[in-house]
Structure 1
Amino acid sequence: MSLIPKSHPRAKSLFIREKLVKGFDNGLVAKEGLLAQGRGEAFDYLLGEKTGKPAKNAIRAAAAQLLIAERPVISVNGNIAALCPKEIVKLSKQIKAKLEVNLFYANKMRKQAITKTLKKSGAKEILGLNPNTSTKLLGIDSARRIVDKNGIFAADVVLVPLEDGDRTIALRKAGKIVITFDLNPLSRTSQTANITIVDNVTRAINLLIDESKKLSKKNNTLLRKIIDNFDNKKNLSENILEIKENLTRGVKIA
């Protein structure tokens, strides 16, 4: 049972930390995943811990891109499985995307723990576990190069929440359209992806589900227009400007 009072000014942030610690204790999250969370949290402070207009525009473009995809796949790592497994499964059903477990610090027990969590959250099929259907992405040396032939390898659009830059680059070189959540608008992942949602995944995932549901009623011509009107580089610049303005306001208040 959580000892964090809801009245605590940092309650939401602390609840997220608690989820990750629990995920670590349950074998989902690597130690390095805890460190990555701290880095992301620092950028969330700079963004004002809210979903800004640039993030909402990216979410809308991401929803359109996922809906228009022929073979969408959602890549799941330990942090995502610990933070929002039910939401990831719900999104996969909403956009008819496959789920694939893919880890930087890979081992069989972690994959099994993540799979169990996703199945408890309602997932039926989970890829990335069968060595007989595995293959390699070119241009990457980490364990994340191992992907499923029927999943990420065959995908046209890949949603990679909390991704590392090397694989984002490799996925782009392989001809994939890449969508990511990344709180750091300056990271290689953010700069390389086709659509970067600069927001905390625990906030943005439900907005992406809602936007996907809303846009699912629209035709492909409108969805394509939304995608074509989105400029990821410009959107990232707007996020950086948002951080700058938040820092300026902080200086004035002090």
Structure 2
Amino acid sequence: MVEAEIPADHPRHDSLVTRHRVEAGVEKGITSRQGLIAQGRGEAFDYLLGERTIPSADAAARAAAAHLLLADHPVVSVNGNAAALVPAELVALADAVGADLEVNLFNRTEERMRAIAEHLRDHGATGVKGLAADARIPNLAHERAKVDADGIADADVVLVPLEDGDRAAALSDLGKVEIVIDLNPMSRSARVADVPVVDNILRAIPNITTHARELADADRPTLERIVGEFDPEATLAAAERAIRDG
């Protein structure tokens, strides 16, 4: 079955679409095989959340949009799974908030970097960062430390979907506002984030974009109020309750 053949009303629609896109990403050289394992782990949490955007995740998406609109230099970090799952949606979000897109990989090869950048361009991106890799995030020994000096290194707000915990912590240590999309509210990535969005990336990225468009004409005090009222600890607690209560 190809993605187009999956009925929209299928009870496992999002799960089947996600599996198909990650598998196709591996075939295209965009997603690593380890990405399949990571996707399976996330899917288990999504199942426990009822495969829906819970209210706390929607509030987090709104706060994320406000942060991105307030930023001087927002950047959306893109790894293999994110590129395979929501390429056009990432481009739309970047356009809505004036953000750069930057490819960043744990299993980094020049071939994969170029393939993902081209994949994003095929879905409407006009500029993709990450290939220069002329700066490093301190205290990281692996390939995800490599970033662009005029991209993530210079950003004040970074959206990091499906992030590694150690890099999330390192970005937080640099004082950057960090928005994390992670289906596990107990992960280190979610717990170090200024805005943890506990939701499936298929829902979360379009939801943040929708909020950004709705807030596009809001004045700065309004955006600052949304940011100031957001409570990351309460958001994580609400997600954990939803998982435990079923």
TM-score bin, normalised by smaller chain: over 0.9
Task: Map Cα deviations across residues 50-104 of structure 1 (whole Å, 9 max, x no partner).
Answer: 0000001100100000000000000001111100100100110110001111001
SS at match of 2:161: coil
Structure 1 unmatched runs, 5+? 247-254
One-letter code aligned to 1:147: V
Q: Name the structure 2 match of 1:129.
A: 131
Q: Name the structure 2 match of 1:24.
A: 26
Q: Distance in 2 between matches of 1:242 and 1:206?
A: 22
Which residue, 11, 14, 25 being the options, matches 2:13?
A: 11
Q: Distance in 2 between matches of 1:55 and 1:5?
A: 26
SS at match of 1:190: helix
Give how far 1:2 is off.
1.3
1:112 and 2:114 correspond: yes
Identity of aligned residues (%): 44
SS at match of 1:160: strand
Contact 2:6/2:16 (8 A) holds in 1:
no
TM-score of the superposed pair, with normalisation by structure 1: 0.94
Q: Where do residues 70-219 of structure 1 align in structure 2 (5 Å cutoff)?
A: 70-131=72-133, 134-219=134-219
Q: Distance in 2 between matches of 1:194 and 1:15?
A: 29
Give how far 1:234 is off.
1.1
Q: Distance in 1 between matches of 2:74 and 2:6?
A: 40
SS at match of 2:75: strand
Q: Name the structure 2 match of 1:233.
A: 233
Q: Distance in 2 between matches of 1:14 and 1:185?
A: 23
Q: Name the structure 2 match of 1:251.
A: none
Give how far 1:11 is off.
2.9
Give how far 1:244 is off.
1.5
TM-score of the superposed pair, with normalisation by structure 2: 0.96
1:64 and 2:66 correspond: yes
Contact 2:179/2:194 (8 A) holds in 1:
yes
SS at match of 2:119: helix
SS at match of 1:179: strand
Q: Distance in 1 between matches of 2:239 and 2:140?
A: 29
Q: Distance in 2 between matches of 1:153 and 1:140?
A: 14
Give how far 1:10 is off.
1.9
Give how far 1:5 is off.
4.4
Question: RMSD across aligned C-alpha pairs, in angstroms?
Answer: 1.2
Q: Name the structure 2 match of 1:245.
A: 245
One-letter code aligned to 1:88: L
Contact 2:105/2:144 (8 A) holds in 1:
yes
One-letter code aligned to 1:108: E
Task: Map Cα deviations across residues 122-178 of structure 1 (whole Å, 9 max, x no partner).
Answer: 1111111125xx111112111100110000000000000000110011001111110
Q: Distance in 1 between matches of 2:13 and 2:195?
A: 30
One-letter code aligned to 1:157: V
SS at match of 1:140: coil
Q: Distance in 2 between matches of 1:20 and 1:57?
A: 27
Structure 2 unmatched runs, 5+? none
SS at match of 2:163: coil
Q: Distance in 1 between matches of 2:93 and 2:14?
A: 22
- Structure 1 outlier segments of 4+, above 3 Å: none
Q: 1:242 to 1:155 in 2, by over 3 A?
A: same
Contact 2:180/2:190 (8 A) holds in 1:
yes
